[in-house]
Amino acid sequence: VVQAGAMKPYELYYWPSIQGRGELVRLALEEAAAPYVDVARTPRGMSAMMKLIAGHGSGLAPFAPPFLKAGALVVAQTANILLYLGERHGLAPKADAGRLGAHQLQLTAMDFVAEAHDVHHPVGAGLYFVGERIPKFLGYFEGVLSKNGPFMMGPRLTYVDLTMFQIVAGLDYAFPRTMKRMNRKIAGLRALHDRVKARPRVARYLASERRLAFNEHGIFRHYPELDLAR
């Protein structure tokens, strides 16, 4: 546990006028009596936040607030921030089973928060996903890859690359016209997808009966009417 008086204040970055997901981090910081600055609520704080999101030069710039700066470290994703703070401030069990158990509950709580958020945006969700969210997320991942390459986390394959393969493959299946249009903007992800697909173990798996075909019951479903027009 870090002594409150002895440390440089954390910097919390979150939208200044809502509780939102940032509140889950504020609650942990407050309970830990950890000194912190709520940066976006200070003068010029918003532009500092937007600069970190734009992430010039960083292969791990946050996709979205909240994120926490602790010295040189920038940690994003609410559950990830809490994993970090929990460990440092005695707000989580120490042994693997409990530590990962708390993280598991937190990730589930974050899924639930996302669903609560979706209640406000039920109209035109398909169009919004194709027109705004696919370009924003893939653009973000493409940026990470171009900075960190050849793999998402640098020189070696990690599970993140396997997930990127599946996301590109799934989007190709579900939104072929959108993905065709995105092709030039995601050249790096496309190449990563192809390299992962060609890895001997992955290729063998994909060719086997162990690999289920995409279908209309999974995450990625092909509904042509939700895809961009031809």
State the residues that interact with ligand GSH by CB under 6 A.
20-21, 64-66, 77-78, 110, 136
Ramachandran assignment for 33, one of left (phi > 0), alpha (psi -120 to 50 degrees), beta (any other)? left
Q: Nearest distance from residue 206's CB to ligand GSH, in Å?
A: 29
Q: Nearest distance from residue 20's CB to ligand GSH, in Å?
A: 4
Of the two residues 19 and 215, which places its CB atom closer to ligand GSH in the complex?
A: 19
Contact 9, 37 (CB under 8 A): yes
Of the two residues 65 and 193, which places its CB atom closer to ligand GSH in the complex?
A: 65
Q: Nearest distance from residue 46's CB to ligand GSH, in Å?
A: 12
- The gap between the terminal CA atoms of the chain, to the nearest Å, is 57
User: Residue 1 corresponds to which amino acid?
Assistant: V
Q: Provide the angle, in degrees to the nearest 10, between the axes of the packed helices 134-148 and 187-198.
A: 70
- Residues 6 or more apart whose CB falls under 8 angstroms from that of 85 comprise 25, 28, 29, 32, 34, 68, 91
Q: What does the alpha-carbon distance between residue 207 and residue 213 come to, in Å, rounded to a whole number?
A: 11
Q: What does the alpha-carbon distance between residue 29 and residue 113 come to, in Å, rounded to a whole number?
A: 20
Sign of the CA dihedral with 98 first, then 104, 106, and 112 last? negative
Of the two residues 140 and 214, which places its CB atom closer to ligand GSH in the complex?
A: 140
Q: Nearest distance from residue 79's CB to ligand GSH, in Å?
A: 6
Of the two residues 23 and 194, which places its CB atom closer to ligand GSH in the complex?
A: 23
Q: Nearest distance from residue 154's CB to ligand GSH, in Å?
A: 23
Q: Nearest distance from residue 83's CB to ligand GSH, in Å?
A: 12
Of the two residues 4 and 73, which places its CB atom closer to ligand GSH in the complex?
A: 73
Of the two residues 21 and 69, which places its CB atom closer to ligand GSH in the complex?
A: 21
